[in-house]
């Protein structure tokens, strides 16, 4: 089945120790997104890739970076995790075509729950 | 003002009840509207898109009121399995394919 996969599902890291979360998709969607979601809050968009073009949200901290080596994979790097970065990190994908009028739904992976000790 | 606002609930209803959630959005130019469902500690999953004419999918009915800038979700004949958080979602002001999520309305269906 076509899907969005995230690894690992649970990640524990130490304060200040770099960590990388990964996302892969078999949907062949051209846009990939990274969200941060804390308990009882809305998912917050960190950045997205439209094909190879990286788009950062204005309020995303510099501590967060991303890489997309190919269509299928996208990585979230947290350079120096702080206690406030503990959250669920969600990867999503969407197929965006120029001129399309239908709404662009997004499909989510199961998320990686990050704990910072 | 938040871009998407929802009553956090929880709505606590018995099985078989009808329950409705509303959501307001701030950008009058928004074109895409969705309801997503999120179970505890799981990812959001698309429940339904919301179209201008309103749409129905089984026990679920979504309505859009552009004049008042709100969307609604009606659930009929509630099941225990409907217990979840329902996220109202609208496209971002700066892009048709970036989505803004509400914080969600929590529904608890009791036996």
Q: What pLDDT, on a 0 to 100 scale, did the predictor assign at position A101?
A: 63
Mean pLDDT, residues A52-57 taken together: 93
Identity of the residue in B49, B98, B101 whose CB atom sits nearest the CB atom of A42 = B101
B 66-95 → A contacts, CB under 8 A: 87, 91
Q: Is B55 on the interface with A (CB under 8 A)?
A: no
Residue-wise pLDDT tens for chain B (111 aa)? 789 999 999 999 999 999 999 999 999 988 899 999 999 999 999 999 998 888 999 999 999 999 999 999 999 999 999 999 999 999 987 887 899 999 999 999 999
* CA distances from residue B110 to B11, B12, B41, B79, B107 in whole angstroms, order as listed: 10, 7, 20, 8, 10
Q: What pLDDT, on a 0 to 100 scale, did the predictor assign at position B92?
A: 87
pLDDT by residue (tens digit) across B41-63? 999 999 999 988 889 999 999 99
Are A15 and A83 a contacting pair, CB within 8 Å?
Answer: yes
* Rounded Cα distance, A29 and A97, in Å: 10
Q: What pLDDT, on a 0 to 100 scale, did the predictor assign at position A28?
A: 93
Q: What pLDDT, on a 0 to 100 scale, did the predictor assign at position A2?
A: 67
The pLDDT mean for chain B works out to: 94
Are A31 and A42 a contacting pair, CB within 8 Å?
Answer: no
| Residue A103 pLDDT grade (very low, low, confident, very high; cuts 50, 70, 90) | confident
Are A11 and A115 a contacting pair, CB within 8 Å?
Answer: yes
Q: For an interface test with A, which of B9, B37, B97, B105 has the most A Cβ atoms less than 10 Å from its Cβ?
A: B97
Question: How many CB pairs (< 8 A) connect A and B?
Answer: 51
């Amino acid at each position: 089945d076509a899907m969005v996969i995230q690894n690992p599902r649970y990640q524990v890291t130490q304060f200040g120790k770099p960590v990388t979360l990964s996302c892969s998709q078999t949907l062949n969607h051209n846009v990939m997104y990274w969200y941060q979601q804390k308990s009882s809050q809305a998912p917050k968009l960190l950045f997205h890739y439209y094909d190879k073009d990286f788009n950062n949200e204005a309020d995303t901290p510099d501590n967060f970076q991303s890489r997309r080596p190919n269509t299928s994979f996208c990585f979230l790097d947290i350079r120096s995790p702080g206690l406030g970065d503990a959250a669920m990190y969600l990867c999503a994908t969407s197929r965006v075509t120029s001129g399309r009028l239908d709404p662009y739904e997004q499909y989510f992976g199961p998320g990686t729950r990050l704990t910072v000790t | 003002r938040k871009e998407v606002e929802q009553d956090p609930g929880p709505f606590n209803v018995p099985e078989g009840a009808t329950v409705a959630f509303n959501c307001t959005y701030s950008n009058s130019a928004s074109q895409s509207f969705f309801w997503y469902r999120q179970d505890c500690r799981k990812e959001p999953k698309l429940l339904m898109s919301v179209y201008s004419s309103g749409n129905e999918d089984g026990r679920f009915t979504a309505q859009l009121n552009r004049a008042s800038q709100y969307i609604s979700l009606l659930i009929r004949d509630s099941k225990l399995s409907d217990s979840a958080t329902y996220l109202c979602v609208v496209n971002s002001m700066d892009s048709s394919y970036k989505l803004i999520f509400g914080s969600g309305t929590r529904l608890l269906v009791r036996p």
